[in-house]
Structure 1
Amino acid sequence: MTTLHTLAATIAARKGADPETSWTAKLLSKGPEKCAEKFGEEAVEAIIEAVKGDRARLTAEAADVLYHLLVMLAARDVTLADVEAELARREGTSGIAEKAAR
């Protein structure tokens, strides 16, 4: 199991946890919209660090982005396996061709 799979499993397990004892449960209890908002905030922070060029800070913010992406997906019952299946479906397809097909 990869670190992302382990994290996704932990997030799924926290869905029913007490929001007073789990940050993940607290985020999920606020609903998908709040989870999406938090993901957006973390993405902006990662962008800022990418522009600044601080590798260590970008790495830390990227980890936050991945965590909050998985929380947002869990809030809408989308699994990491679902995302992986979509990526596998796209494998071998030019990004330009894929975008044109939308």
Structure 2
Amino acid sequence: MLDRLWATVESRKGADPALSHSARLLARGTAKVAQKLGEEAVEAVIEATRGNRDGVIAESADLLYHLMVVWVDAGIRPGAVWAELERRQGVSGIAEKAARAQPAARRLPGTRKVW
């Protein structure tokens, strides 16, 4: 689903902003695209803190859409993000945090920003 959404947004890059919401966002530039992603993230957080399940679902959809717009603007294909997630899989968050306290030369391979 996200790959298809990304492809749709990517296909709108350079399209007529009067005809496409994605084209309009992309035409506004990186700062505006990033700002919109931040706004949607905050809206998702608000709905989560309210315990509004339907609101979280709706805002999550908006957030994912705007994340795809950011990726397209930055020239990032979904596969690059999937590969990074794959690389992080199985790395303990506790081990990763401990490795951050060490100089970079002493860090364990594959220990960076793990959930």
TM-score between the two structures when normalised by the length of structure 2: 0.82
Is structure 2 residue 105 aligned with structure 1 residue 82? no
Shift in Å, 1:5? 1.0
Give the aligned partner of residue 66 of structure 2.
Answer: 68
Q: What is the deviation of 1:67?
A: 0.4
Q: Give runs of aligned pairs for residues 11-30 of structure 1, distance below 5 A.
A: 11-30=9-28
For 1:82 and 1:5, the matched residues in 2 are separated by 11
1:1-102 equivalence runs, <5 A: 3-99=1-97, 100=100, 101=111
Q: Percent identity over the alignment? A: 53
Aligned length: 100
Please say which of residues 90-99 and 12-21 is displaced more in the overlay.
90-99
What's the offset of the Cα at 1:79? Answer: 1.4
Q: 2-side partners of 1:92 and 1:13: how far apart?
A: 34
CA deviation after TM superposition for structure 1 residue 33, in Å: 1.0
Q: Which runs of 5+ in 1 are unaligned?
A: none
Q: TM-score, normalised by structure 1?
A: 0.92
Q: Secondary structure at the match of 2:40?
A: helix
Q: 1:32 to 1:97 in 2, by over 3 A?
A: farther
Shift of 1:94: 1.1
Which sections of structure 2, spanning at least 5 residues, go unmatched?
A: 101-110
Identify, as 1 or 2, the structure richer in helix.
1
| Offset, 1:98 | 3.1
Q: CA RMSD of the aligned region, Å?
A: 1.2
